[in-house]
Each structure stands twice: as structure tokens, then as C-alpha cells.
Structure 1
Amino acid sequence: ISMAQGPKKDVGKNVPLPSGSTDQKAPPKSDQQPPQVPSLSIDVDLMSFDVVVTDQSGNPISGLEKKHFRVFDDD
């Protein structure tokens, strides 16, 4: 086997299509709504954030502590 030949340009030309795959008709419309995605709502007292603070030049600022940040809830 030689890989130097490169890919063949006629690959896939003679691959048979599955039965009915050439049917271009759209699926029948349904008045049913798609199933609802389950959701979960919880209340927490502790949240953890990883943050990176940089100056105007993009250099990281180190030595910041919890007291230098405030987190607000939009709820």
C-alpha cells in the first residue's frame, strides 16, 4: 500500500443508496408539540467561581481576595 498516491477522486461514486433514500418528500406535519425538556430548579447558599482578572494590557493581576469581588443575582 502506498500513501503517496493521494486520495482517489471517485470514492463513493458507486456506493448504493439505502432503499427510499432518494425520496425527497418532507415528513408529514404533525399538530403534536415536541416533548418538553425536563428542568431542575434548586436554591444554593454557596457558589464557586474561577476568575481571571487582567489589566488593560492583558497582564494577569494577582493577589486578589474574596473581598475584592461582589456577585449579584439578577433574580
Structure 2
Amino acid sequence: MGRDIKEGELPEAAVDEAAASSAWYKIIGDWQWDEPAVPLDVMRAAVAAVHAAGGRVAVQPDRRGLTERRAGRRRQP
């Protein structure tokens, strides 16, 4: 089960979660549709922290069509 944290808490939370699991941590990079995605510098800090602790990280986008919108294309209904 995921937990809602503030951006600044992500690196520490990522290390905690990786330590409590099989050394993996998954970041959902854009969980809330009405909020901006996790900033790249915050993701990089979390990845670096987990790697420094000997863990691994997976990053998953969740918003459908995010890539198309960023590229200026619209999804067809």
C-alpha cells in the first residue's frame, strides 16, 4: 500500500520502504491528476538515496496520456 508524503520526504521514505521490502522501491511519478508530477530533482535524490542504501528503484507514470500531452498531441476518446 502506498502512502502520501511531501516531496521533501521522498528520499528518506524511499530508503525506508526499500529496507522494509525486497530492497525495491517504486515511485509513482504523477499520482494525482490535479497536481504536477514529482520533480525530476526530487526523483533523482530518491533514486540516489535508495542506491546508496543498496536498493533498487522503479518509476511508474500513472496518468493516461501524459506523454502525449507533453508532446503536444491529444488523446482520442
Same fold (TM over 0.5): no
Q: Give the TM-score normalised by the residue count of structure 2.
A: 0.18
Q: Which has the larger radius of gyration?
A: 1
* Structure with the largest fraction of strand: 2
Select the structure with the greater relative contact order (CA < 8 A; seq sep ≥ 6): 2
* Structure with the largest fraction of helix: 2
Q: Give the TM-score normalised by the residue count of structure 1.
A: 0.19
